[in-house]
Amino acid sequence: MALACAWSIGLRGVDGEVVEIEADIGQGLPGVSLVGLPDAALAESRDRVRAAVVNSGESWPARRITLALSPATLPKQGSGYDMALACSVLAAARVVPAAALRGVVLVGELALDGRVRGVRGVLPALLAARRLGVERAIVPAAAAVEAGLVEGLEVLGAEHLSDVLGWLRGDRGRLLPVRSRARPRGGGPREDLADVVGQGPARRAVEVAAAGGHHLLMTGPPGSGKTMLARRMTGLLPDLDVDGALQVAAVRSLAGALDPQEALPAAPPFVAPHHSVSSAALVGGGSGLARPGAVSLAHHGVLFLDEIYEFGPHVLEMLRTPLEEGEVRLARTDGVVRYPARFQLVMAANPCPCAPPRQTDCSCSSLEKRRYTQRLSGPMLDRVDLRVTLEAVEGLSWAGGPTEGLEPVTEDTAAVRARVLAARAAARERWRDAGWRTNAEVPGPELRRRGRLPRDAMAVLEGQLRTGTMTARGADRALRVAWTLADLRGATGPELPDVVEAVGYKGFVGERDAAGDDEDVA
């Protein structure tokens, strides 16, 4: 009886755990048994691994082989265990020294000819390995770019199984260390806010949203600049730090969307799914392995939902928990999969189904308009801090300056971004002890404890609550916006003008806001 162990990493969302792979070669008819909750792709690895070993010039043991993956309670999914399975079998057969596998995790799929293929999730697997105290990892050479983002861990790139076996036998030159380069970079030139014609109130709302991390709804006729404003939001946001960029890159790695040329992005992500998107594509899920959705791909960035009233009501309601908690929890029969989802939601909508260039040309009845807008429920709308209406564009913008009948060129992204960064720095310093970075993250009770509003400012919020035009959640969100407005003007706290402007951004108050969480989705 011969026994040996190899190690790999099992992922559950972005969380990882070391998986021990035990290989036992015993008496009995030749064959391979795989135990430990393998999925279909992993169960098929028996044939892949055997062919890869033989085609790498090694002999496959003609005996009964049992492969056990533990912990048994962790579902094992995907083909990333192939390399570890092959090495554990060959170590049990005394082809390679079992001692050489200690302290090493192996991640990679094997082709039938022995080549080591890339797999999804190499970056989060290595981040988990580092967190769990692993010192060395062998990964596919094709994943060298994302593997090089992890510091504090020796990572070796392998192109062929024979190279891995040679390294285990002591020929250290067979595998070369992956160079570490964990610095956010890339992004290139960003679209400029000066391209937007007019729309002063909407530009102001975008600036406030960027400064405080607030969610935004823009309503206006086609061609008024809603999409242009949304696409320029990320240009106002601060660049990602190393931790934030690693989180973004890890989610992209799991989704198979990591750009090799910009593996560690500096620019916040901008994700704009089509209105026909399914709930699984939006928040994550799917059959088998739960994949991250658009909300997780927009982590630390902007999720833009254009034509918001065209989205399915059920799909939109799936956003409630991510908006409140900053993460997605996908329930599975074997446990819960977690993905980060702290994003800024920007929505754009036409005012009615016919969407004429001017409202005076609208042919929709009041009932049609109501049915159209009720696709966004009251509780969902209550989670939006800023709502602004755009008017039809009546003039063009010229670089030469204002001319009669034409709009003057407005501030560019650089000027607005400077104010946004200053406001964010003030908020980050204020909430540093609690770990919050933006006003939008702060719970309402903490905002109220930080300092009382002036009496006249408090009266405005209390009046909204008393008349039922604003919910308690809406009042807390207005208070967060008021703090952001104060930060933008460099004040130490909100005053009456800040609260009045913040309440104005809640807009569209009335029956829908008062409906609260009991409102049915139309």
Provide DSSP, 344-401.
EEEEEE-SSSS--SSGGG----HHHHHHHHTTS-HHHHTT-SEEEEPPPP-S-EETT-
Whose CA is closest to 147, among 236, 253, 75, 243?
253
Contact assessment for residue 113 and residue 52, using Cβ atoms and an 8 Å cutoff: yes
Number of structural domains found in the chain: 3
Domain that holds residue 515: 442-522
d(CA 469, CA 507): 10
Q: pLDDT value at position 101? A: 96
Among 87, 95, 96, 15, smallest CA distance to 45 is for: 87
For residue 486, pLDDT over 50 is answered with yes
- Please state, as a whole number, how many other Cβ atoms lie within 10 Å of the Cβ of residue 520: 9
Residue 522 scores a pLDDT above 50: no
Residue, of 15 and 198, whose pLDDT is higher: 15
Q: Is residue 215 part of a domain?
A: yes
Mean pLDDT, to the nearest integer, of 471-495? Answer: 91
Residue 340's DSSP bridge partners are: 327
Q: Round to whole Å and give the CA distance between 24 and 26.
A: 6
What are the DSSP E strand ranges found in 159-250? 176-177, 216-219
Q: How wide is the angle at C-alpha 26 spanned by C-alphas 23 and 27, nearest 5°?
A: 160
Residues 139-187 pLDDT 10s: 999 998 889 999 889 999 999 999 999 999 999 999 989 987 767 765 5
Query: What 8-state DSSP symbol labels residue 409?
Result: P
**CATH number, domain containing residue 485:** 1.10.8
Quick one: pLDDT at residue 324?
86
Same domain, 404 and 463: no
Quote the mean pLDDT of the chain: 87
Cα first-last separation, the chain: 66
Q: Is residue 299 part of a domain?
A: yes
Mark whether 419 and 275 lie in a shared domain.
Answer: yes
Question: What confidence tens digit (pLDDT) does each residue in 195-207 have?
Answer: 887 788 999 999 9
Using alpha carbons only, give the angle 245, 250, 256 rounded to the nearest 5 degrees.
125
Q: What is the DSSP letter of 282?
A: H
Least confident segment among 184-193, 422-431, 499-508: 184-193
Q: Flag whether 185 is in a domain.
A: no
- In 3D space, the residue among 345, 415, 431, 437 whose CA is nearest the CA of residue 386 turns out to be 345
Enter the tokens of residue 224: 């008024």
Residues 274 and 353 in one domain: yes
Q: How confident is the model at residue 91 (pLDDT cuts 50, 70, 90)?
A: very high
> Poorest-confidence range of 183-192, 434-443, 451-460?
183-192
Residues 371, 448 within the same domain: no
Is the same domain home to 156 and 236? no
**How far apart (Å, rounded) are the C-alpha atoms in residues 17 and 374?**
44
